[in-house]
Amino acid sequence: MRVLWALKRLSRMVRGYSIRRLAVPLTLLIITIALGLYLLLAYSLANDPRLVPVAFQEAKSILLVTAHPDDETLFFSPTITYGRNNAAVKRSLLVISSGNYDGLGDKRQSELHGSCEQLGIAQERCIVLDIAELQDNPKQWWDEDRVQELVASYTEKWHVDLIFTFDNGGISGHINHRSVSAGVRKYIQSRPDAPATYMLQSTPLLRKYSSLLDLIPTAIPFSWRILKALLTTPLGREVDHNTVHDVVPLAAYNDKALLVSSWHTYKVSRAAFSQHDSQYSWDRGLYLVVSRYMWFNTLEKMV
């Protein structure tokens, strides 16, 4: 019995020692993989149509629909900054409420226009609404028909051919975010000629605040697309959908997207959020570093 007890104790000691020894190299390996994926997806494959659909690359008038001022930077930064240097593309932002929950609506409207300036969105296409029945309220589900009407109006006004918005989870679960998603979905489902629309995917809390480390689980559903891109795309060469040869029609990849911000684009996003002075706090400062949504976005096509 003593021998058996001693063997069990020794086994536990060895096992514990091994785990401690493996912890550091395993952590370094995970960080290295995450950084490698970041460099690959933010630079070498940043425009590959298997990851960034043709619908994104051919769009000439893009509309982002959000609920409150600062949503465009806190959640949609990699999306709204994609292709920001292409003068042929018109980007627009429609914010359904002024964010007046704390009585700061006027200030937040002004801050939003500062954010648009940093993001390169023209002021006439940077719209924040202040409608009585659509006020910032974490307990109010907005009228989907009213949201639908507004989206339809601005889509037609600006000849929009690509829309971005929240998914059913609203990223943070905010009821206003979710009702915006529902309103946009209602618009899409009611019009056969509606433009392609993509929803920003919500993730569990731990993944949401895992920064670039979350690229590892995020890349798994895209692994076959990444592999095909690597096999057919010479690294270091500029890629667009016109230069890619694939046995599968490129339109087949339009169901989802993975957009990863470069370091320069990330800094632009931080500069844009810095305009939202009323919303800045120490935890928001931390958010700008640890949130996956500041670094990359995964989107799914709304059907």
Residue type, 91: R
**Block residue for tokens 């109006």:** 153
What's the predicted TM-score (pTM) here? 0.90
237 pLDDT more than 70: no
Domain ranges of the chain: 40-298
Reported as a pLDDT band with limits 50, 70 and 90, residue 22 is confident
Mean pLDDT in residue range 281-295: 96
| Residue 29 to residues 24, 85, 210, Cα–Cα distance (Å) | 9, 35, 16
β-pair type (296-301, 256-260): antiparallel
- Dist CA 149 CA 162 (whole Å): 17
How much is the mean pLDDT over the chain?
A: 92
Structure tokens at 129: 């609404």
Mean pLDDT in residue range 29-42: 97
User: Which of the following CATH numbers is that of domain 40-298: 3.10.129.10, 3.40.50.300, 3.40.50.620, 3.40.50.720?
Assistant: 3.40.50.620
